[in-house]
Structure 1
Amino acid sequence: MTQDTFPTWPDVAAQLVNTAAGRAHADTIITGGIWVNVHTRETLPDHDIAITAGRIAFVGPSADHCKGPDTRIIDARGRYMVPGLCDGHMHIESGMLTPAEFARAVIPHGTTSMFTDPHEIANVLGLKGVRMMHDEALLQPINIFTQMPSCAPSAPGMETTGFEITAEDVAEAMHWPGIIGLGEMMNFPGVSNADPQMLAEMAATQNAGKTVGGHYASPDLGPAFAAYVAGGPADDHEGTCEDDAIARMRQGMRSMIRLGSAWYDVESQITAITEKGLDPRNMILCTDDCHSGTLVNEGHMNRVVRHAIDCGCDPLIALQMATINTATHFGLEREIGSLTPGRRADVILTSDLKTLPIETVIARGQIVAQDGACLVDCPHYDWPEHARTTVNMARDLTADDFTIPAPAGANAVSANVIGVVENQAPTRALKFELPVTEGRVQATGDVAQIALVERHRATGGVVNAFVSGFGYTGTMAMASTVAHDSHHMIVVGTDADQMALAANHLRAAGGGITIFRDGTALATVSLPIAGLMSDSPASEVAAATDQMMQAMRDCGCTLNNAYMQHSLLALVVIPELRISDLGLVDVRTFDFIDVIEPLA
């Protein structure tokens, strides 16, 4: 049963009431389990859950009065009955998978609800792309709620996207059946300065009675932050330290703390609960960005919950942060997030609350996964041809496109360099002295060259700069059409010829990620849908991703999940330095700065 055909509570209220009272028979009864009650933070042994029409009708020490001759019995003796896990903020496109294949990948890990912001595809295909993601999400056997993207471009005037999202688009989407609210409001300077479009988008969302997502990436917790909160965002996931989490909760926001493939922000913020003893109801666990390799090899929200527990969080509090807290935040407390009457019957059976092995997953009353295997179909949307032909480059590129000329007569220059920070989204603004050879500035040591290749409107534009932190050696280049959030093409390399080869390879392939060394492609991940996603199974995409990450290591990179760092180098709403199709951006001031400067 898909989300768009799943009956509402009013549709089945009489059945639920009659089943709970014993006047009708349950479809399924889970017997003898340990009830994890996230409302009261208790574990109650020897309880039954009676399920009718995909919803919970009764929970108690015995559901024998609900049993009929055709009632299915699931034996849970010795195991905990846990609500299905909710991811409060994430981007399906970051998995390099379509919604169907993402769902197939996470169902065995116990994720039964996701709150997704498809702003990646919005930048490439606009409102039509968002609708495609929304429509495929509604086909799935688990709950995928879509947040209408708020910022395409993420920072107007700082980048050029394939399409732009308007306040009128937001108002239209609020009437779609699967839209739960507004996606992360990344233009935090715009909100703090009362930008009319940003306020109009948030007003349309609040007028529809839905939730405004936040993204405040500045360390400034003074008046600018207060102005942002006053503007309407109800949550934020960009915190990186305890003070960030505390400030958000004190101002009435939900602090979303994330563990993604490359973002390790739980340990530094959960101390607000584990050490400061603040009320945990306003803290939510999420992933934000997980690529397919993480999903296949490590897990999804179960991985985040286990990590929170390893960081000292009480298991029941960690589960609250991944279930009822999330549901309450989005106004869905009566639908999901707990094992109580009327709610969708989304249940995990596990033998241990701390290590959280996901043994059985039930969604809407049906067993959807068992011992790591997905048991249900995840239907695909029929993606049109125009969604598969989005790498629009004017021509093949040459090494000359990737050269940075030096001032006349200079033997060396001072360069503004993007500094990658391992396991975090922010970068650092660095300065390096770089040599000049034959009138061209040369990358040297740990400094590599970075280029942004325009790929939406076939302008032929290439912006060049420098980046530090990847540790690449030899003659190599890596190119990707996943380049948050504008999703042009990012190329990082040590050699201009290799950079041209990698870029042209992706142009011919229609999008994806590739690594070249000495004229040979070491690895390629094909992402034909919008240059962002594959509709192949997650295991296949993960295998290609593993090969790609091994190729990065073979080229000298030792960063944890370095690909995620690569893909965020154009995200012009997170400090300090980023690259866009318009130039090098100092996100601290939202100004363009020169790549090279004369030596002092």
Structure 2
Amino acid sequence: MSENLFPSWPDVAAQLIEVAAGRTPADTVIRGGQWVNVHTREVLPDHDIAIKCGRIAYVGTDASYCCGPETEVIEAKGRFMIPGLCDAHMHIESGMLTPAEFARAVIPHGTTTMFTDPHEIANVMGLEGVRLMHDEALMQPVNIYTQMPSCAPSASGLETTGFEITPDDVAEAMAWPGIIGLGEMMNFPGVANADPKMLAEIAAAQRANKTVGGHYASPNLGPDFAAYVAGGPADDHEGTSEADAIARTRQGMRAMMRLGSAWYDVESQITAVTEKGLDNRSFILCTDDCHSGTLVNDGHMNRVVRHAITCGCDPLAALQMATINTATHFGLERELGSLTPGRRADVILTSDLSELPIELVMARGQIVADSGSINVDCPHLDWPDHARGTIHLGHTLQARDFEIRAPDGANTVTANVIGVVENQAPTKALKAELPVVDGLAEGAGDVCQIALVERHRGTGGVTNAFVSGFGYTGNMAMASTVAHDSHHMIVVGTDRAQMALAANRLAEVGGGITIFRDGAELALVELPIAGLMSDQPAIEVAAKAQKIVEAMEACGCNLNNAYMQHSLLALVVIPEIRISDLSLVDVTQFKKIPVIEGFK
């Protein structure tokens, strides 16, 4: 049943009342479970749940009076009955999957609600891309709400995107049925400086009574942070420390603590609850970015809840952070997030609240997964042809396109270098003394080359710089058309000829990720939809993504989830230093900087 066909509470209120009063039989009764009540943080044994029209009509100690000859009875057998899990902030495109395939991947893990920000495709296809994601999301058997992207480009003047999102686009999208709010407001300097465009987008969302998502990626908790909060963002997921979490919640924001494929920010912030004793209702769990390998092998929001519990959080508090807290934040407390009358019957049966095995999943009153296997269709949108032809390089690239010419007479140069930090989104701004060979600055040691290749308009532009931290050895290159958020093409390599081979290969297949070494392709993930997503099942994409991981390791890289680090090196709103199609960018000062600062 699609979202736009799912009955609203007013449509079925009379039927829910009739079931609760015992005058009409329920469609389904879950019998003999332990009711996890996230409103009161209680576990109540020997309870039943009666369901009608996909919604909960009754929860109590005996629903036998709600049963009729046609009522389906599900025996909980003493297992815990918990609400379906909610992901408060995420990007479907980061899974390299369409909304349909992402839903198929996470439903067996107990995720029944997602709040998604498709700003990746917005940078490639503009408002049309957002609408396509929104429309496929509404077709799914679980709840996928869309946040209208706010920042494309993420930082005006520092990058060039395929399309630009405007306040008029935001105002138009606010009327779409699945739009829940404004996506993360990444241009935090713009908000703090009262940029008219940013404030117009926030105003459009607030006039529509929608939630404004935040993204304050700065350690500065002084006047800039105060100005950002005054600008209207209601939550933030960029915190990395206890102080960040406390500062946000004290100012009335929700602190969204993320555990993605490469971002491990729960452990460092949850002490605000577990040790400082802050009210956990101001805290929310999310994933932000999960690639297909994590989804297939490790889980989704169940993984985040388990991790929070491992970090010392009470299991019931952790569940609140992944259910009712999220629903309340988005104004949906009367619709989902708890197992109480009127809400959507999104129910998980599990035998252990700490380990959280997902044994049965129900969404909107329908069993959608059982014992880890999905048993419901996830319909696909018919994506238009032009969504599959978004890689435009302008010309076939050569090794010379990746040269970094040194000043005349230089024997060595002092270069600004992007320093990758394992398991964190921020980078370090480093400097390195690098050799000059035949007039070209060359990488040395752990420093190799990085390039951003323009791929939206076919300009032929290539920005070249240096990066360290991957540990690559030999003659290799890795290229990806997933390059948050502008989504040009990022190429990292130790050899310019391999960099050209990798870039041209992605143009040939319509986008994706590839690794070359010594002229041979070691691994490839095709991502033909906008150069960001595959429409293949998650298990197949995950298998190809694993080949990428293995190829990176074969080339000397042992970073955890290094691909995610690779894909974020162009995100010019997260400190300290990034690459764009225009130049290197110092994100602590939001200004362009040269690759070569000096020479000898």
After TM superposition, is the score higher than 0.5? yes
The whole-number CA distance in structure 2 between the counterparts of 1:319 and 1:259 is: 15
- Which residue number corresponds to residue 228 of structure 1? 228
Letter in 2 for 1:413: V
Amino acid at match of 1:370: D
CA distance in 1, matches of 2:156, 2:490: 20
User: Aligned letter for 1:528?
Assistant: P
Residue in 2 that maps onto 1:101? 101
1:408 aligns with 2:408: yes
Question: Partner of 1:463 in structure 2?
Answer: 463
CA displacement, residues 187-207 of structure 1 (integer Å, 9 cap, x when unaligned): 000000000111111111011
CA distance in 2, matches of 1:594, 1:395: 26
Paired with 1:209 and 1:289, the residues of 2 have a C-alpha distance of: 27
Query: Structure 2 matches for 1:425-464, cutoff 5 A?
Result: 425-464=425-464
Structure 2 CA distance for aligned equivalents of residues 135 and 532 of structure 1? 17
Name the CA distance, whole Å, in 2 between partners of 1:579 and 1:217.
Answer: 17
Q: What one-letter code is carried by the residue in structure 1 that aligns with 2:460?
A: G
1:374 is matched with 374
The residue that corresponds to 1:303 in the other structure is 303
Q: State how far apart, in whole Å, the 2-side matches of 1:593 and 1:170 are.
A: 32
1:129-158 deviation line (CA, Å, top 9, x unaligned):
000000000000000000000000000000
Runs of 4+ in 1 over 4 A off after TM superposition: none
C-alpha separation between the residues in 1 aligned to 2:121 and 2:229?
Answer: 27
In the alignment, does 2:594 pair up with 1:573? no
Q: Which amino acid aligns with 2:134?
A: H
What's 2:285 paired with?
285
Give how far 1:498 is off: 0.2
Residue identity opposite 2:462 in structure 1: V
| Residues in 2 aligned to 1:423 and 1:4: alpha-carbon distance in whole angstroms | 39
Aligned match of 1:244: 244
Deviations 1:296-355 (A, max 9, x none): 000000000000000000000000000000000000000000000000000000000000
| Equivalent residue number for residue 49 of structure 2 | 49
- What is the deviation of 1:541? 0.2
Q: What whole-Å deviation, never above 9, does each CA across 1:382-434 have from its counterpart, x for those lacking one? A: 00000000001101100000010111111101000000000000000000000
Q: Write the deviation string for residues 115-142 of structure 1: whole angstroms up to 9, x where unpaired.
A: 0000000000000000000000000000
1:314 equivalent in structure 2: 314
Amino acid at match of 1:292: S
**Whole-Å separation in 2 of the counterparts to 1:97 and 1:223:** 40
Deviation for aligned residue 1:4? 1.2
Structure 1 stretches lacking a partner, 5+ long? none
Determine if the alignment matches structure 1 residue 528 to structure 2 residue 525. no
What secondary structure is seen at the aligned counterpart in 2 of 1:598?
Answer: strand
Residue number in structure 1 paired with 2:544: 544
The residue number in structure 2 matching 1:161 is 161
Aligned to 2:390: 390
Residue aligning to 1:328: 328
Contact 1:417 1:467 in 2 (8 A): yes
> After superposition, what is the alpha-carbon deviation per residue over 1:249-274, rounded to whole angstroms, capped at 9, x for unaligned?
00000000000000000000000000
- Where 1:569 maps in the other structure, the secondary structure is coil
Conserved in 2, the CA contact under 8 Å of 1:461 and 1:581? yes
Q: Secondary structure in 2 aligned to 1:483?
A: coil
Residue in 1 that maps onto 2:170? 170
- CA deviation digits over 1:216-275, x for unaligned, max 9? 001110111011001000000000000000000000000000000000000000000000
The one-letter amino acid of 1:511's match is G
What residue identity is the alignment partner of 2:139? Answer: L
SS in 1 for 2:199: helix
Distance 1:207 1:533 in 2: 33
In 2: Cα distance, 1:465 partner to 1:90 partner: 30
Secondary structure of 1:485's aligned partner: coil
The answer to whether residue 96 in structure 2 is matched with residue 88 in structure 1 is no
Query: 2:381 is matched by which residue type in structure 1?
Result: Y
In structure 2, distance between residues paired with 1:597 and 1:262 = 31
CA contact (8 A) 1:113 1:144 kept: yes
In the alignment, which residue of structure 2 is the partner of 1:215?
Answer: 215
CA distance in 2, matches of 1:334, 1:59: 15
State, as a whole percentage, how many aligned pairs show the same letter. 78
Aligned-partner Cα distance in 1 for 2:218–2:496:
34
C-alpha distance in 2 between matches for 1:599 and 1:251:
47
Q: Tell me the secondary structure at the aligned position of residue 549 of structure 2.
A: helix
- The answer to whether the 8 A contact 2:411-2:599 is kept is no
1:32 matched to 2:32? The reply is yes
Q: Deviations over 1:418-475 (max 9, x none)?
A: 0000000000000000000010001011001000000000000000000000000000
Partner letter of residue 119 of structure 2?
H
Map of 2:253 onto structure 1: 253
Count of aligned pairs: 600
Distance 2:539 2:448 in 1: 32
Q: CA deviation at 1:480?
A: 0.1
State the shift of 1:599 in Å.
Answer: 3.8
Distance in 2 between residues matched to 1:565 and 1:598, nearest whole Å: 28
The residue that corresponds to 1:479 in the other structure is 479
Instruction: Give the Cα–Cα distance (whole angstroms) in 2 for the partners of residues 193 and 109 of structure 1.
Output: 42
Residue-by-residue CA offset, 1:540-589 (whole Å, 9 max, x unaligned) = 00000000110000000000000000000000000000000000000000
* Cα distance between partner residues in 1 of 2:64 and 2:150: 49
One-letter amino acid matched to 1:2 = S
Contact 1:112-1:143 within 8 A present in 2 as well: yes
- Output the CA distance in 2 between the equivalents of 1:372 and 1:383: 29
In 2, distance between residues paired with 1:399 and 1:329?
51
Partner of residue 125, structure 2: 125
Contact map agreement 2:407 2:599 (CA 8 A) in 1: no
Shift of 1:501: 0.2
What CA distance in whole angstroms lies between the structure 2 residues aligned with 1:565 and 1:312? 28
What is the aligned partner in structure 2 of residue 187 from structure 1? 187
**Alpha-carbon distance in 2 for matches of 1:208, 1:591:** 34
**How far is 1:598 from its partner?**
1.7
User: Contact 1:46–1:77 (CA<8 Å) still a contact in 2?
Assistant: no
User: Equivalents in 2 of 1:30, 1:597: separation in Å?
Assistant: 68
Cα distance in 2 for residues equivalent to 1:69 and 1:437: 84
Task: Tell me the secondary structure at the aligned position of residue 336 of structure 2.
Answer: coil
1:336 partner letter: L
Q: Write the distance in 2 (CA, Å) between the matches of 1:185 and 1:225.
A: 13
Task: Using the TM superposition, give the Cα deviation of residue 280 of structure 1 relative to its aligned residue in structure 2, in angstroms.
Answer: 0.3
TM-fit CA distance, 1:597: 1.9
Distance 1:442 1:479 in 2: 19
Kept in 2: contact 1:287–1:301 (CA 8 A): yes
Q: Which amino acid aligns with 2:526?
A: S
Which amino acid in structure 2 is aligned with residue 271 of structure 1? Answer: T
Distance 2:385 2:414 in 1: 46
Q: Work out whether 1:356 is the aligned partner of 2:363.
A: no
1:181, 1:21 → 2: CA distance? Answer: 37
- CA root-mean-square deviation: 0.5
Q: Secondary structure of the residue that 1:425 maps to in structure 2?
A: coil
2:420 corresponding residue in structure 1: 420
Mapped partners of 1:300, 1:48: distance in 2 = 27
Please give the alpha-carbon distance, in whole angstroms, between the structure 1 residues aligned to 2:275 and 2:199.
37
In 2, are the aligned partners of 1:283 and 1:325 still within 8 Å (CA)? yes
1:147-202 alpha-carbon deviations (Å, 9 max, x no partner): 00000000000000000000000000000000000000000000000001111111
Normalising by structure 2, we get a TM-score of 1.00
SS in 2 for 1:145: strand
1:22 aligned residue: 22
Cα distance in structure 2, aligned partners of 1:200 and 1:19:
47
